[in-house]
Amino acid sequence: MSNEKLKTESAVCSNCGGKLDIDNSKDNVVCPYCGTNYSVSELTGESDAVRIEKIKLNAQKEIEKEKLKNENAKNKSQEEKEEIEKFKKSKFSKVLIVFAVIAVLFFFVGNGFLVKFLTFVQAVLFIGAWLMGAKIIKEPIKGIRTICVIIAFILIVPIIGTGGGTAPKESEKIVWEDIVMAEILPEPKSNKGQILSNSDKYLSIYIHKSSKEDYNKYVEACKEKGFTIESENDTSSYDAYNEDGYKLRIYYNEYNKEYNITVDAPMQMSENAWVETPLSKLVPAPNSKLGKVETESAKFYTYYAGETSQEDFSAYANSLINAGFSNDYQKGDDYFYGKNSDGYKVDIRYQGNKIMKISITAPEDDVKEPSNSTSTETTTPPTSTETSTPSTSTETSTPSNDSNGVSKDFKEAMDEYEKFFDEYVAFMKKYNESNGTDMSLIADYAKYMNQYAETLKEFEDMKDDEMNEAEAAYYIEVQARINKKLLEIAQ
């Protein structure tokens, strides 16, 4: 019998024939039609003892119901406290605080109304997202916190496009004969600027007091010097290789009236560098014998293949699908990502200058022998001491899982974060080329936003209390590379 049925019964008024609803928890009932008063025990034919027991039973159930309600409220409150504590300790929370501080700092040191406005909005969005995550303020609409963070990060692009709003850099006199790579580059018209790096591996200098016409003339002079291979040109930047493999990038900043010149020396490779390991055996060996091993361990294998054209890259991507890496795969003109049925991941990129990067990662669970491997031994890594240049590739050191190294979860989260920006930069270049006339790109943009939300969620769910020194250094390294990529689309 249900609680409601125990509590109420029906009877007929003997005076007017109206329906009486009997409440067993009360002694009397009054007819709502004629006002006749009845004893509940008379109507139900029950003894007082039975009726009292029913009243006690109903009262006990009401008490139990209220007690359960209070316990649920208490548990919900405790869960909310634990969720808040988890958020405050998460790396995602720390990232929001760091970027909020940076935005506030740029608000005070930046020059110009636009920069101050953008950094103010960015700071408000980062702080608001943190306050909603800590449940100090209520999230008005589900998912609005993630949207705030996405918009705040996107604002980095126009802020960078204004030069960050910083005051003009202090100029120094540049003696072109002192530039190590002077022979492969034309000398700029202005000798006022700033040298950031000057070596046979990497050059980065700013040329101050330069008009857009000065920038355009320097680009043409670089073309005459042979920087025309795989060239990419837009209104404010120029990228190209020369036949010796040097990579040039020139970026003009209209706000500060200056342009930045960077040159990367070619990556040093060797013959027959491909190493067979349980991971590398999962994928076909590249056709080119020229290459370089960057990382080799039980969980990671990273390799750079030389003499690989974009056509070769596309053919190799197709071979990976045939090799079983067809789960959740994504493929573009210069990238491919996919997983096999055992959870192993492969990520390949066309770096430019006929270089392809191949990255293979073991599943997140304990490393086990791949199904198509017959040996658990790992081949001894190559002894080559050759190094690569800063921006020709996005190389990182071999990760480790101890307290002093970069944890696997953290590295994967940061790599996914960087991978998103690679795709975003490629998308924005395509969008800029269409001048906003290609409506099909809107669907791609929505897909990108959804992917970014998922990436942020994964980053937020990381449970480590704080970054160790190696992770902090790796975070700064990845963020620096991302900022450099964002410069490619800043106008």
What average pLDDT does the segment 398-426 reach? 65
pLDDT (0 to 100) of residue 478: 72
pLDDT at 15 over 70: yes
- In SS3 terms, the chain reads as CCHHHHHEEEEECCCCCCEEEEECCCCEEECCCCCCEEEHHHHHCCCHHHHHHHHHHHHHHHHHHHHHHHHHHHHHHHHHHHHHHHHHHCHHHHHHHHHHHHHHHHHHHCCCHHHHHHHHHHHHHHHHHHHHHCCCCCCCCCCHHHHHHHHHHHCHHHHHHCHHHCCCCCCEECCHHHCCCHHHCCCCCCCEEEEEEECCCEEEEEECCCCHHHHHHHHHHHHHCCCCEEEEECCCEEEEECCCCCEEEEEEECCCCEEEEEEECCCCCEECCCCCCCCHHHCCCCCCCEEEEEEECCCEEEEEECCCCHHHHHHHHHHHHHCCCCEEEEECCCEEEEECCCCCEEEEEEEECCEEEEEEECCCCCCCCCCCCCCCCCCCCCCCCCCCCCCCCCCCCCCCCCCCCCCHHHHHHHHHHHHHHHHHHHHHHHHHHHCCCCCCHHHHHHHHHHHHHHHHHHHHCCCCCCCCHHHHHHHHHHHHHHHHHHHCCCC
> Residues 409, 489: one domain?
yes
Length of the chain as a residue count: 491
Of 115, 145, 165, which marks where a domain is finished?
A: 165
Mean pLDDT of 284-293: 93
Could you tell me if residue 55 is inside a domain?
yes
pLDDT, one tens digit per residue, over 441-453 is 555 655 655 565 5
**Whole-number Å distance between alpha carbons of 221 and 223:** 5
Do both 428 and 477 map to the same domain?
yes
Q: Looking at per-residue confidence, does 489 or 131 come out higher?
A: 131
pLDDT of the residue at 446: 53
9 neighbors 22 (Cβ within 8 angstroms): yes
Q: How confident is the model at residue 103 (pLDDT cuts 50, 70, 90)?
A: confident
Classify the C-alpha dihedral 212-235-220-249 as positive or negative.
positive
d(CA 196, CA 258): 14
pLDDT at 383: 38
Does residue 128 sit in the same domain as residue 157?
Answer: yes
pLDDT of amino acid 384: 37
Pairwise CA distance, residues 229 & 232, whole Å: 9
Average pLDDT, integer, range 344-369: 83
Q: Which range is least confidently modeled, 115-124, 142-151, 239-248, 361-370? A: 361-370
Clarify whether residues 179 and 242 are in a common domain: yes
pLDDT value of residue 25: 64
Q: Write down the pLDDT at residue 3.
A: 45
For residues 232 and 153, membership in a common domain is answered with no
In a domain, 419, yes or no: yes
Confidence grade of residue 225 (pLDDT, cut at 50, 70, 90): very high
Predicted pLDDT at 380: 39
Q: Is residue 344 part of a domain?
A: no
Residue of 417, 403, 414 whose CA lies nearest to 469: 403
Q: Are 485 and 421 a contacting pair, CB within 8 Å?
A: yes
Note the pLDDT of residue 444: 60
259: containing domain: 172-264
Is 28 among the domain residues? Answer: yes
> Is the model's pLDDT at 216 over the cut of 80?
yes
- pLDDT tens track for 230-256: 999 888 899 999 999 999 999 998 878
Could you tell me if 160 and 204 lie in one domain?
Answer: no
Residue 320 lies in a domain: no
If one counts the domains in the chain, the total is 4
Cβ contact 48:41 at 8 Å: yes
Give residue-wise pLDDT tens across range 198-208. Answer: 999 889 899 99
29 has a pLDDT exceeding 60: yes
CATH of the domain at 205: 3.30.310
Most confident of 46-55, 304-313, 358-367: 304-313
Q: Which percentage of the chain shows pLDDT scores above 70?
A: 69
**370 lies in some domain:** no
Amino acid occupying residue 481: R
Our CA dihedral for 385, 388, 394, 395, rounded to 10 degrees, sits at: 10
Q: What is the pLDDT of residue 314?
A: 92
- How distant is the alpha carbon of residue 229 from its chain centre? 32
Question: Which two tokens mark 173?
Answer: 């006199």
Q: What is the pLDDT of residues 132-184, one digit of tens each?
A: 888 888 888 888 888 888 898 888 777 766 655 544 456 789 999 999 999 99
Res 5: pLDDT: 44
- Pairing state of beta strands 37-39 and 229-233? unpaired
Residue 53 pLDDT more than 80?
no
Would you place residue 393 in the very low, low, confident or very high pLDDT band (cuts 50, 70, 90)?
Answer: very low
The answer to whether residue 288 sits within a structural domain is: no
The answer to whether 264 touches 391, Cβ cutoff 8 Å, is yes
Q: Is residue 217 part of a domain?
A: yes
Distance CA 156, CA 296 (A): 35
Give the pLDDT confidence of 64-80 residue by residue, as tens digits: 777 777 777 777 777 77
Which of 75, 102, 133 is the last residue before a domain boundary? 75
Instruction: Say yes or no: 67 and 119 in one domain.
Output: no
Structure confidence by residue, pLDDT tens digits, 461-489: 554 446 666 676 667 667 667 766 666 65
Is residue 188 scored above 90 in pLDDT? yes
Cβ neighbour number for residue 347 with a 10 Å cutoff: 20
Section 355-364 average pLDDT: 89
The closest alpha carbon to 285, from 270, 272, 295, belongs to: 272
Q: Rounded mean pLDDT of 323-328?
A: 91
Mean pLDDT of the 289-303 span: 90
Lowest-pLDDT range of 53-62, 84-93, 224-233, 443-452 = 443-452
pTM of the shown model: 0.46
What does the block give as tokens for 203?
Answer: 């050059």
Instruction: Clarify whether residues 160 and 179 are in a common domain.
Output: no
Chosen domain end from 209, 238, 264 = 264
pLDDT class of 39 with cuts at 50, 70, 90: confident
Looking at the structure, do residues 406 and 490 belong to the same domain, yes or no?
yes
Would you say residue 351 has pLDDT above 80? yes
Place of tokens 């001894």: 380
